[in-house]
Structure 1
Amino acid sequence: MKKPFVIIGGPTACGKTAMSIELAKRIDGEIISADSMQVYHFMDIGTAKVTEAEKQGVPHYLVDELYPDEEYNVMIFQQKAKIYMDQIWGKGKIPILVGGTGFYINALLYDNDFTETENDTSFRKACYAQAKNEGPEALFQRLEKVDPEYAKIIHANNIKRVARALEYHFLTGEKFSKHNAEQKQKESPYNAAVIILTMEREKLYERIDYRVDLMMEQGLLDEVKNLLEKGYSPGLVSMQGLGYKEFVPYFQGECSLNEAVAQLKKGTRHFAKRQLTWFRRQIDGLWVDLSKTDFPMAMTDILDYLKEKNILE
């Protein structure tokens, strides 16, 4: 009998944290983060990391488990998440995977096999070096040539994902987009229910702009400064995340603070758009438009969906 597994995905700033915590309280669940940035210590404000108060006592995993200079990739995520899922089921509870990193979600949902391409990191490191020396765009142009379909759903600055796709093509001769499509055809080993939160684009963009302004009030600039002062290089994969890379030019005297903030808002809006595109193309589930329903009604729809999927009685 397949074990129950709930996933809440969606674009940044759409309300996943609040919804997942309320759902965990309703169904006796515990939360695993599918966010590629919240796993790092010292990166709290820029990642919109869930606070202890917000958790309301609900256990969270894969939050604050690594330092910014430690490697984190889809295989490490998958291995750690599966261990936590077993622990949660062992307590008689339901694991709830929450985040906007669709690649990570798919990896766990379909138990994708990455071992054949994750053991040798030499090609990946060469890609990182090229991005550092020539700029992310040079690396991205290579991806556009070998896998234009995949290039359409990720950003040129997402060096880790670009390198990953190039590495897969180099090692297997196949397009990463083709690999993802094949993995999607697999049946999940779990009794999984996928919930995708969304909202009208203009409302989502307003929330993103408001969130960035709030982050600045909360001390995002000092957070980035402290990371740099701790010796974490701007070239680290973690420091290339949204909310961090935009402020390095400011500290280097290459742009004004207003320009850095504007760039963060713009980059986050583009990121949210790509997230929605990814979820529409890659994953099936219950879509909940939070611009057309209120929180209680959305929760009712989600609970009804979990009953349909035989996760709740």
Structure 2
Amino acid sequence: MKKAIVLGGQTGSGKTSLAIRLCREFGGEIISADSMQVYRKMDIGTAKPTAEELAAAPHHLIDALDITERFSSADFVALASKALEDITSRGKLPFVTGGTGLYSQMLFNSFSLSQSGGDPEVRRALAEEAAERGADALYAELCKADPDSASRTQPNNVRRVIRYLEIFRVTGLTPTQMNEINNSGKREYDPLYICLWSADRKLIYSRIDARVEKMFASGLEREARSLYDAGLENAPTAGAAIGYKELFPYFRGEYGLEEAKELIKRRSRNYAKRQQTYFKRIPGCVFVDIDGDPYKTVKELVLAHLER
């Protein structure tokens, strides 16, 4: 089987810099598993690799789409599969790098919503919608998004309707489509899952805070303003991305800049918690503490995986 490395982890854990060092060591190339770095014109707020970093190692799925295009997990699988084939055909080692664990699991046919725990926030939002709009409205949405699943349940089975809609909103796929991906052909790749994390929560939080401050010093407010002026505040791209969506209300005068900045930090910290929780549910995922220099540990893990 072809080898692949998945380097995931929390926001601010140093995935990009470590992946570049590993690419130099092992002759690898990076496939970005980030739901927002795929878009052009969203650079600072997504902590996209710098020009120097992009030059230091080949990157795939960076600046691949226009900001107005939708990008689902299924789209990621399609693009990343082509990149995997290209990289391995040239004898290179693919490093799938990013904090979106769902993407890497689906890429390697190992995703299960029940195993991953799904997305509690999406589930909670759907439950609130059911209470506000009624079960029939939610069922009508399911009929439009996933007629096959809708035909197998009743409108009054709210729990199941919510579950099916959760799958669709999280993955962009119906359960039938997910099964087709998970059962499609033989699994050609043998991925090693590595998650960078910190046992010291204060360390990762301080990194996140410093990262946000650096973003503002680099021009995040200006970048977000250009998206706002382009009418993208409600787009499923910029309108959903931490670092941008907090600044849009500031531009409307709803609160001050410092409040927006603190909101970005707080939501980034909460996102880091969810990232760690997600990777904990991936079978066989190895956690490497970032306290100090994790390069040696990760390098040894990669060597052992390649020799298996």
Compute the TM-score of the two structures, normalised by the length of structure 2.
Answer: 0.77
Quote the Cα distance in structure 2 between the aligned partners of 1:312 and 1:143.
52
- Partner residue of 1:3? 2
- Partner residue of 2:169? 164
* 1:197 alignment partner, SS class: strand
Pick aligned residue for 1:300 from 271, 296, 302:
296
Structure 1 contact 40–67 (Cα < 8 Å) conserved:
yes
Quote the Cα distance in structure 2 between the aligned partners of 1:209 and 1:143.
36
Quote the Cα distance in structure 2 between the aligned partners of 1:3 and 1:22.
21
* 2:35 alignment partner, SS class: coil
Q: What aligned pairs does 1:105-116 form with structure 2 within 5 A after superposition?
A: 105-110=104-109
- Partner residue of 1:31? 30
Change (3 A) 1:140 1:279: farther
* 1:96 alignment partner, SS class: strand
- Partner residue of 1:71? 70
Quote the Cα distance in structure 1 between the aligned partners of 2:130 and 2:7.
29
* 1:22 alignment partner, SS class: helix
Structure 1 contact 69–238 (Cα < 8 Å) conserved:
no
The runs of 4+ residues in structure 1 deviating greater than 6 Å are: none
- Partner residue of 2:189? 190
Structure 1 position 264, deviation (Å):
0.5
Q: What aligned pairs does 1:1-313 form with structure 2 within 5 A after superposition?
A: 2-110=1-109, 138-139=125-126, 141=128, 146=159, 164-165=169-170, 189-199=188-198, 200-291=200-291, 294-295=292-293, 298-309=294-305, 311-312=306-307
Structure 1 position 281, deviation (Å):
1.7
Q: Which moved more, 1:50-59 or 1:269-278?
A: 50-59
Structure 1 contact 5–191 (Cα < 8 Å) conserved:
yes
Quote the Cα distance in structure 2 between the aligned partners of 1:45 and 1:236.
18
Larger radius of gyration: 2
Structure 1 position 111, deviation (Å):
6.0
Quote the Cα distance in structure 2 between the aligned partners of 1:45 and 1:10.
19
Change (3 A) 1:143 1:111: farther
Q: Which amino acid aligns with 1:95?
A: P
Quote the Cα distance in structure 2 between the aligned partners of 1:188 and 1:246.
41
Structure 1 position 282, deviation (Å):
2.7
Structure 1 position 8, deviation (Å):
0.2
Quote the Cα distance in structure 2 between the aligned partners of 1:235 and 1:146.
29
Compute the TM-score of the two structures, normalised by the length of structure 1.
Answer: 0.76
Change (3 A) 1:140 1:25: farther
Change (3 A) 1:112 1:68: same
Q: Which amino acid aligns with 1:213?
A: E
* 1:207 alignment partner, SS class: helix
Structure 1 position 113, deviation (Å):
10
Change (3 A) 1:166 1:38: closer
Structure 1 position 53, deviation (Å):
0.7
Deviations 1:228-281 (A, max 9, x none): 223324243442110110011001111111111111110000000011011112
For structure 1, list consecutive stretches of 5 or more residues without a partner in the other structure: 115-135, 151-159
Quote the Cα distance in structure 2 between the aligned partners of 1:17 and 1:166.
24
Report the aligned-residue RMSD. 3.5
For structure 2, list consecutive stretches of 5 or more residues without a partner in the other structure: 114-122, 132-157
Structure 2 contact 167–175 (Cα < 8 Å) conserved:
no
Change (3 A) 1:266 1:25: same
Structure 2 contact 197–287 (Cα < 8 Å) conserved:
yes
Structure 2 contact 7–15 (Cα < 8 Å) conserved:
yes
Q: Which amino acid aligns with 2:19?
A: S
* 2:246 alignment partner, SS class: helix
